[in-house]
Amino acid sequence: MSTDTVKAAAYRVCETTGLSIFLKAQFFVKINAVLAVIFLLVGGIAALLLALTRWSNVMLLNDIWYYRMVTLHGVNMLVFWIIFFEMAILYFASTTLLNTKMFSKKLAHTSLALMFVGAVVTNYIILKGQADVMLTSYPPLEAHPLFYLGIILFAVGALIVAFNFFATLYIAKKNKTYEGSMPLVTFGAATAAIIAVVALLHGAAALVPTFLWSMGWMEMMDPGAYRLLWWGLGHHSQQINVAAMVSVWYFVATMSTGAKPLNETVCRGAFILYILFINLAAAHHLLVDPGLSSEWKIWNTSYAMYLAVLASMIHGYTVPASMEVAMRRKGYNKGIFGWFAKLPWKDPGFSAVALSAIIFGFIGGITGVTLGTEQINIMAHNTLRIPGHFHATVVGGTTLAFMGLAYYLVPLIFQKDFYMKKLARIQPWLFGGGIVIMSLGMSFAGTYGVPRRTYDSDFGGAVLETGFDPVAHIFLGVLGIGGVIAFIGLLLFLVLIVAAVFFGPSLKGQKMPTWQTDKEQKMTDELISKGYEEEGKDYHVKTPGTIVLVLIFLLSFAIYYFANWAALADLWHIR
Amino acid sequence: MEEEKIHPIQKFMDNIWLLLALGLAIPILSYTLWGLIELLTIEQGTLP
């Protein structure tokens, strides 16, 4: 970076990483992360109430409040928490990692104001009871205009952040603040930003006409077209999560173990597969829509020959393999899994990210690809199997990875230390464990046909006798118990973060305290500080442990996939 | 000093603007426009 450019922007040098942290960008990293956590709490409270309602022996809420909480939970968790946090990642990845100042502070303020006002307005109108339409808000369900307006304002704000991010990449390249290709984590963030642009444009196409309809200024949009466009927002935004989450995996893997990408080109290639093909996956949601052809459904749900799935499997190999290489270089060479046992499990940032990768891959990924198959989807569509899948990806995967990143953001960006470190060490296990239990409860209840987004699983008061096998109710209980455990894990996370950020000991002028032993941290620091020219050696370090993990994964995938085809054959007799 | 030759694939990977353009074009053509065309060309249903 040129001296002039550095002087033009007030910055500090991070004592732990040696990276330049630009103070203006740091403010926006902080404020977006804080707002994200606030909306996580709102969505989390709604989640607890929902879990205690779907638990059929409890049924805490009445029907009106159930649908209100489904709306509140969906909007806060899938939109506000996640996207605010992703905005923090975009500011960090484009300035600190590229060693450059932010493009425009004014744009950053404008976007922040739009996003905050949008989020507050949307929450207000939902809690006022004038938007019980759930996150999807399919017409002819109609909410108060402020519901649509709030989400539109939020989306416009997020789009401005994406613009600011790309403009920052441009000035970094122009000022030559980095040499060669941009760092992999920034490239992953750029992938997330590109997907975000696609998602937000679809959101505008779906919600602006719906807002005008709610004002009485135009006819209702065709429900089929709305669904197509809305899922271009709803599902694409989950792909922003995937790209951001994988970037976090790489970042935390480096910070916690000293790992470096095994092969930059392969990892970047996998991100490019996301950019090109992952957005087609939104078609999953429309697999039973009668207006769309099988050709459209099969082409789009196969992610263009499953290339985006291939990308996730590449990351699923390279992240643990890079850690195995790092651990073996530290001398942990005993057997196939000696390195695995010696990973820094006491570091909550690491354990959160490791659990995120496991839950995302083994539960979220396997179920997602299987349920996205057109024929199998017919068994699972609109049952609890679907939320069983996406709670493993979005919550067990993305949210847990973001929690892991927060354990690094607090000391590195907020320059504060944690209290109650023993509790911090168990927090990712508590939250991740709860989500796994809840997700499995949902999935198994769904296999009995229990529908999603339905207040009363037994359809009480129906004229004809309805209801499900009693075993389904046991799994609804499992769902409820998992939800309560996950909420305790979430609450613990919030307590730890708030205590550290607002009341924690200052770390100004100090390195980030290690979660490992001093000897282990020294070895990690040495690996991090070694130059790229030494990476070539990594190609020659074998990764037998990761290969075995990959084989276990592929076997699990095959068993689950073919078990579903067998189940379909049982239901759908073809002679 | 002679400039290092950059492989075309590496150049493609480093061109964030081209990736942005492709990232917009592929889903909009494959998912959105194709889907909208199918929905808009459904024939009017008739009562039996």
* Residues of chain A contacting B10 with CB distance shorter than 8 Å: 181, 265
Average pLDDT over residues A12-20: 87
Instruction: State the pLDDT confidence band at A528, using cuts at 50, 70 and 90.
Output: confident
Q: Is the pLDDT of residue A572 over 70?
A: yes
Which residue has better confidence, A469 or A397?
A397
**Quick one: pLDDT at residue A427?**
98
**Quick one: pLDDT at residue A575?**
63
Instruction: State the pLDDT confidence band at A534, using cuts at 50, 70 and 90.
Output: low
Which residue has better confidence, B2 or A168?
A168
Does any domain span residue A339? no
The H or E element that residue A572 is part of is none
B10:A197 CB<8 A: no
* Residues of chain B contacting A277 with CB distance shorter than 8 Å: 26
Does any domain span residue A345? no
B38:A195 CB<8 A: no
Q: Is the pLDDT of residue A538 over 80?
A: no
Residue in chain B closest to A226 (alpha carbons) equals B36
Structure tokens at A226: 């709305």
A269:B32 CB<8 A: no
**Quick one: pLDDT at residue A2?**
46
Looking at the partner chain, which of A228, A276, A293 has a beta carbon nearest the beta carbon of B23? A276
How do strand A20-22 and strand A11-13 relate by DSSP bridges? antiparallel
* Residues of chain B contacting A224 with CB distance shorter than 8 Å: 39
**Quick one: pLDDT at residue A459?**
84
Match 């907020």 to its residue by tokens.
A414
Spatial distance between the Cα atoms of A42 and A498, rounded to a whole number of angstroms: 15
- The candidate with the shortest Cα–Cα distance to A120, out of A197, A38, A46, is A38
Q: Is the pLDDT of residue A8 over 60?
A: no
Q: Is the pLDDT of residue A465 over 80?
A: no
Which of B31, B38, B41 has the most A C-beta neighbours within 10 Å, making it the best mutation to test the interface with A?
Answer: B31
Q: Is the pLDDT of residue A451 over 80?
A: yes
Does any domain span residue A556? no
The model's pTM is 0.93
Instruction: State the pLDDT confidence band at A449, using cuts at 50, 70 and 90.
Output: very high
- Domain total in chain A: 1
Q: Is the pLDDT of residue A557 over 90?
A: yes
B20:A197 CB<8 A: yes
Amino acid at the residue A235 = H
* Residues of chain B contacting A236 with CB distance shorter than 8 Å: 27
Least confident of A41-55, A490-504, A559-573: A559-573
Angstroms from A176 CA to nearest CA on chain B: 14
Tens digits of residue pLDDT in A293-313: 999 998 998 756 588 889 999
B25 touches chain A (CB under 8 A): no
**Helices A400-412 & A236-257, crossing angle to 10 degrees?**
50
Q: Which range marks the domain in which residue A427 is found?
A: 356-515
Maximum separation of any 2 CA atoms in chain A, in Å = 78
Does any domain span residue A275? no
Does any domain span residue A121? no
Size of interface A-B (CB pairs under 8 A): 82
Looking at the partner chain, which of A201, A291, A304 has a beta carbon nearest the beta carbon of B38? A291
Give A373-430 as a 3 state SS string.
CHHHHHHHCCECHHHHHHHHHHHHHHHHHHHHHHHHHHHHCCCECCCCHHHHHHHHHH
Q: Is the pLDDT of residue A283 over 60?
A: yes
Does any domain span residue A460? yes
Does any domain span residue A456? yes
Residue in chain A closest to B21 (alpha carbons) equals A194
Does any domain span residue A409? yes
Residue A274 contacts residue A195 (beta carbons within 8 Å): yes
Angstroms from A164 CA to nearest CA on chain B: 14
**Quick one: pLDDT at residue B5?**
82
Spatial distance between the Cα atoms of A514 and A507, rounded to a whole number of angstroms: 12
Instruction: State the pLDDT confidence band at B10, using cuts at 50, 70 and 90.
Output: confident
How does A6-25 read in b/e, with b if 16+ C-beta sit within 10 Å?
A: beebebeebebbebbbbebb
Average pLDDT, chain A: 92
Q: Is the pLDDT of residue A537 over 90?
A: no
* Residues of chain A contacting B36 with CB distance shorter than 8 Å: 225, 228
Q: Is the pLDDT of residue A51 over 50?
A: yes
* Residues of chain A contacting B23 with CB distance shorter than 8 Å: 194-195, 197-198, 275-276, 279
Spatial distance between the Cα atoms of A412 and A20, rounded to a whole number of angstroms: 11
Q: Is the pLDDT of residue A9 over 70?
A: no
Q: Is the pLDDT of residue A423 over 90?
A: yes
Spatial distance between the Cα atoms of A424 and A82, rounded to a whole number of angstroms: 21
Residue in chain B closest to A284 (alpha carbons) equals B31
* Residues of chain B contacting A280 with CB distance shorter than 8 Å: 26-27, 30-31
**Quick one: pLDDT at residue A532?**
40
Task: Provide, rounded to the nearest whole percent, the portion of chain A with pLDDT above 70.
Answer: 96
**Quick one: pLDDT at residue A133?**
96
A296:B38 CB<8 A: yes
